[in-house]
Amino acid sequence: MPTPKNDFPKPSVTVDILLFTVVENDLKILLIKRNLAPFKGSWALPGGFVLLHESLEEAALRELKEEGNVDNVYLEQLFTFGDPRRDPRSRVITVTYLALADSSTWDVRSGGDAGEASLCSTKKLPTLAFDHRKIVDYGIERLRAKIGYSNIAMGLLPDEFTLTDLQKKHEVILGQPIDKRNFRKKILSTGIVIPTGKKSDGGAHRPAAFYKFKSKKLIITD
């Protein structure tokens, strides 16, 4: 690797974030309405320039906070898109991140200083700016694959949850029903969740046991 020269023409570097959350029976993603050209008025992924003093992850977290008022998310790097013509103005390389949030503890409307922010169903996405549609498709694919062999669903749930809660998140992401008995057998055999001893109450039915994830780090279970 040669020495960087200050006069070397440089591309710009951004981060763009796919923030997924499951609401009711829908996999949703955070989008921002652009109020600047190009693609003014179009929806786009939250994101922005990487500042010189911050890491890529820090940039992603900062943008999520600024544009979506989101804190406390699971975050992992997805892919870096660098086609020379992906931005019509100039060369922009974007490092994309997959983020997951628990929809029950966060309201998108309370943030958003960069434009209108909205949670949009992944089933009927509007036309997106730049190559963001391709990025979203790639992220959904990764999320679907990874939920099958890791504890990544922890990003979508509060600290305490029932096995039915967990199963519903899986079903929404995979887009198909799962057998309750087989699901529980598999989840419990991996040991990624442990019972907290508490039980749900209030419903006119049998209370459910609460569980929590044993580790807050990503664990690959096969």
Please count the other Cβ atoms lying within 10 Å of the Cβ belonging to residue 162: 16
Task: Please provide the DSSP assignment of 152-207 as one string.
Answer: GGGGGS-SSEEHHHHHHHHHHHHTS---HHHHHHHHHHHT-EEEEEEE--SSSS--
For its own copies, the closer of residues 6 and 25 by Cβ is 6
Total residues interacting with its own copies, rule: CB under 8 A: 42
Which residues have a Cβ under 8 Å from the Cβ of 215 and sit 6 or more positions away? Answer: 151, 192
Residues 117-146 that bind its own copies (CB under 8 A): 129-130
Answer whether the bond into residue 38 is a cis peptide, omega within 30°: yes
Among the residue ranges 38-46, 121-129, 139-147, 160-168, the one whose residues contact DNA (CB under 7 A): 160-168
Let me know if 141 is a catalytic residue. Answer: no
Q: Residue 9 interacts with its own copies (CB under 8 A)?
A: yes
C-alpha 169/C-alpha 156 separation (Å) is 7
**Please, what is the minimum distance in Å from the beta carbon of residue 74 to DNA?**
23
Binder of DNA out of 207, 215, 216, 218 (CB under 7 A): 207
Residue with tokens 């949850």: 161
Per CB under 7 A, does 179 bind DNA?
yes
182 makes contact, choosing from its own copies, DNA, none, with CB < 5 to 8 Å by partner type, with DNA
State how far the Cα of 92 lies from the Cα of 84, in Å rounded to an integer: 7
Kindly state the smallest distance separating residue 163's Cβ from DNA, in Å.
5
Choose the one of DNA, its own copies, none that binds residue 74, judging by a C-beta under 5 to 8 angstroms depending on kind.
Answer: none
Pairing state between β 12-23 and 92-100:
parallel
Look at phi and psi of residue 119 and say left if phi exceeds 0, alpha if psi is from -120 to 50, else beta. Answer: beta
Spatial distance between the Cα atoms of 68 and 19, rounded to a whole number of angstroms: 9
Q: Judged by CB under 8 A, does residue 219 bind its own copies?
A: no
Q: Which of 62, 65, 91, 184 binds its own copies (CB under 8 A)?
A: 91
Name the residues that contact DNA, by CB under 7 A.
Answer: 162-164, 179-182, 184-186, 189, 199, 201, 203-209, 222
- Residues lying near its own copies in the complex (CB under 8 A): 1-4, 8-14, 16, 34, 36-37, 44-45, 47-50, 52-56, 77, 79-80, 82-84, 87, 89-93, 95, 114, 129-130
Active site residues: 116
